[in-house]
């Protein structure tokens, strides 16, 4: 059969990974796909790099005019690996307009403009595949969209940002501060010069938005996603969490409830005995709870040249198989048929229901704990565990750490305000959310 011709937009780390893996495993991939998949065009600003990396490869044309690759008659599938919003958005839309199928690993683009992109693809009868956009090489999009179709998916909780998981793992292992670990990670190239997207949970919120859409059959609603980063986490809280049998992970959590769904990224205490609490370094893992299957977990490298290339090429094989088929035979982009998308809203963070870790500095005086527990009880917040430390020698203040049962966030926020107003409580209360994930 005729080979499938791929036009590659962008030749950074992942672009080169796709080229290398196709070159190395092309034979084995063709044994699966039923025909060869070959890169015919590469559109990139870094022509020299691409020329060097593709030296000796036959039939590969290079150009800096990415726009021409997106619509080129010798290209069947356009692979967008430029990243960011523009010009990626414009190129993807123009490829779709030209009737090309598109494979992309661009999570920001899909989280922000996915609704528009998938509507255009549906109207034009082409496929847009995006396994590489979430959790690198882990086939989590396929699992959610095809592997768990029997289930009402109840919730997803994922470690979906390798940089922040690396920082948190290292803080725990070494006892170093966030700033120190970040500086080290930047020096070694594990974290970007501007780490905002990673450490503030924005990158994780992009990926969570995409997973929630295909899990619940809802549109992409990144603007409504809540995100809170790891920059304010202290060694003390990591240590207290350990003492209570928990690890702190930056989780992306989407949970379906009757009035809407939760969509939130934040540091989270997770019981140490859960498998996901033991995911270390830059690795990713996604825990999915379905009503029939129960809890399932998917683990692997969440980034990197070849792991992401693995996902991109899996999409290429899928598209290779299906590109001449009737659209009704294809898996819907967002798992649910386009006319079956629900308008279930995202719940505001105040309506979220979860458990809490609260750490407060208090005067070591009789009655303090009674005041605090009264404030919690008045708001129907019940206490699951507590540590009260003896004051250090010569000090008259101490730390109290409380774990609450599940409660509505706005009640907890209200309780924190009331506790902070007590004359015996010093400074602000540290609040970290906690999920049992059973």
Q: Which residues are catalytic?
A: 207
Would you count residue 294 as binding its own copies (CB under 8 A)?
A: yes
Would you count residue 295 as binding its own copies (CB under 8 A)?
A: yes
Would you count residue 291 as binding its own copies (CB under 8 A)?
A: yes
Euclidean distance between CA atoms 12 and 22, whole angstroms = 16
Shortest approach of its own copies to residue 417 CB, angstroms? 40
- Among the listed residues 8, 50, 79, 314, the single contact to its own copies using CB under 8 A: 314
Q: 262 vs 306, which CB is nearer to its own copies?
A: 306
Instruction: State how far Cα 174 lies from the chain centre.
Output: 25
Would you count residue 28 as binding its own copies (CB under 8 A)?
A: yes
Instruction: State how far Cα 404 lies from the chain centre.
Output: 26
Q: Which of residues 178-217 bind its own copies (CB under 8 A)?
A: 217
End-to-end CA gap in the chain: 49
Euclidean distance between CA atoms 317 and 30, whole angstroms = 9
Would you count residue 271 as binding its own copies (CB under 8 A)?
A: no
Q: 22 vs 241, which CB is nearer to its own copies?
A: 22
- Among the listed residues 198, 203, 318, 435, the single contact to its own copies using CB under 8 A: 318
Would you count residue 13 as binding its own copies (CB under 8 A)?
A: no
Would you count residue 76 as binding its own copies (CB under 8 A)?
A: no
Would you count residue 24 as binding its own copies (CB under 8 A)?
A: yes
CB burial of residue 260 (10 Å; 0-12, 13-18, 19+): middle
Omega before residue 87 within 30° of 0, cis: yes
Would you count residue 34 as binding its own copies (CB under 8 A)?
A: yes
Kind of pairing, strands 397-404 and 353-363?
Answer: antiparallel
Would you count residue 299 as binding its own copies (CB under 8 A)?
A: yes
Shortest approach of its own copies to residue 164 CB, angstroms? 19
Site string for its own copies, 148-167 (x = CB under 8 A): xxxxx---------------
DSSP readout, 264-277?
EEEEEEEETTSGGG
- Among the listed residues 292, 370, 421, 438, the single contact to its own copies using CB under 8 A: 292
415 — alpha (psi -120 to 50), left (phi > 0) or beta? alpha
Would you count residue 171 as binding its own copies (CB under 8 A)?
A: no
- Among the listed residues 61, 330, 361, 405, the single contact to its own copies using CB under 8 A: 330
Q: 247 vs 433, which CB is nearer to its own copies?
A: 247
- Among the listed residues 76, 80, 131, 237, the single contact to its own copies using CB under 8 A: 131
- Among the listed residues 179, 189, 329, 370, the single contact to its own copies using CB under 8 A: 329
Kind of pairing, strands 153-159 and 383-388?
Answer: unpaired
Question: For residue 138, what are the contacts with CB-CB under 8 A and spacing of at least 6?
Answer: 284, 285, 286, 298, 299, 300, 301, 302, 311
Q: 187 vs 329, which CB is nearer to its own copies?
A: 329
CB burial of residue 326 (10 Å; 0-12, 13-18, 19+): exposed
Kind of pairing, strands 425-434 and 261-271?
Answer: parallel
Shortest approach of its own copies to residue 298 CB, angstroms? 6
Instruction: State how far Cα 284 lies from the chain centre.
Output: 9
Would you count residue 296 as binding its own copies (CB under 8 A)?
A: yes
- Spatial strand order of the sheet with 37-43 comes to 61-63, 37-43, 4-9, 77-80, 101-104, 128-129
Cβ(61)–Cβ(42) below 8 Å: yes
CB burial of residue 243 (10 Å; 0-12, 13-18, 19+): exposed
Q: 10 vs 217, which CB is nearer to its own copies?
A: 217
Would you count residue 275 as binding its own copies (CB under 8 A)?
A: yes
- Among the listed residues 64, 177, 196, 337, the single contact to its own copies using CB under 8 A: 337
Question: What is the binding site for its own copies (CB under 8 A)?
Answer: 17, 21-22, 24-25, 28-29, 31-34, 131, 136-139, 142-143, 146-152, 217, 275, 278-279, 290-301, 306-307, 309-314, 317-318, 321-322, 324-326, 328-332, 335-337, 340
């Amino acid at each position: 059969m005729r080979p499938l011709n791929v036009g590659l937009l962008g030749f950074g780390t992942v672009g080169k990974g796709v080229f290398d893996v196709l070159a190395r495993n092309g034979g084995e991939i063709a044994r699966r796909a039923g025909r060869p998949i070959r890169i015919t065009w590469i559109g990139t600003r870094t022509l020299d790099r691409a020329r060097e990396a593709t030296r000796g490869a036959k039939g590969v044309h290079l150009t800096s005019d990415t726009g021409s690759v997106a619509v080129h008659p010798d290209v069947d599938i356009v692979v967008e690996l430029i990243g960011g919003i523009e010009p990626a958005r414009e190129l993807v839309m123009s490829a779709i307009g030209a009737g090309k199928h598109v494979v992309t690993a661009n999570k920001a683009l899909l989280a922000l403009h996915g609704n528009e992109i998938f509507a255009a693809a549906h109207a034009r009868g082409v496929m847009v595949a995006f396994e590489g956009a979430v959790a690198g090489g882990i086939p989590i999009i396929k699992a959610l969209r095809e592997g768990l179709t029997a289930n009402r998916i109840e919730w997803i909780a994922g470690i979906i940002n390798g940089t922040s998981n690396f920082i948190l793992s290292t803080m725990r292992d070494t006892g170093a501060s966030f700033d120190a670990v970040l500086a080290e990670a930047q020096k070694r190239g594990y974290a970007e010069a501007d780490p905002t997207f990673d450490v503030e949970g924005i990158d994780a919120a992009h990926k969570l938005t995409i997973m929630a859409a295909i899990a619940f059959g809802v549109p992409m609603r990144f603007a409504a996603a809540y995100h809170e980063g790891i920059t304010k986490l202290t060694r003390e809280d990591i240590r207290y969490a350990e003492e209570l049998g928990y690890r702190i992970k930056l989780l992306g959590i989407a949970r379906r409830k009757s009035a809407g769904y939760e969509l939130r990224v934040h540091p989270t205490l997770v019981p140490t005995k859960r498998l996901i609490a033991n995911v270390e370094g830059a690795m990713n893992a996604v825990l999915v709870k379905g009503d029939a299957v129960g809890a399932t977990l998917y683990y692997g490298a969440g980034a990197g040249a070849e792991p992401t290339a693995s996902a991109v090429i899996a999409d290429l094989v899928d598209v290779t198989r299906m590109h001449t088929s009737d659209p009704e035979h294809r898996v819907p982009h967002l798992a649910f048929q386009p006319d079956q998308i629900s308008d279930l809203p995202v719940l505001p963070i105040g309506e979220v229901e979860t458990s809490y870790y609260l750490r407060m500095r208090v005067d070591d005086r009789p009655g303090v704990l009674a005041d605090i527990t009264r404030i919690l009880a008045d708001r129907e917040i019940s206490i699951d565990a507590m540590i009260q430390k003896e004051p250090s020698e010569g000090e008259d203040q101490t730390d109290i750490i409380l774990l609450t049962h599940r409660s509505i966030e706005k009640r907890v926020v209200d309780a924190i305000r009331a506790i902070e107003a007590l004359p015996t409580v010093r400074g602000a209360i540290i609040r970290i959310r906690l999920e049992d994930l059973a």
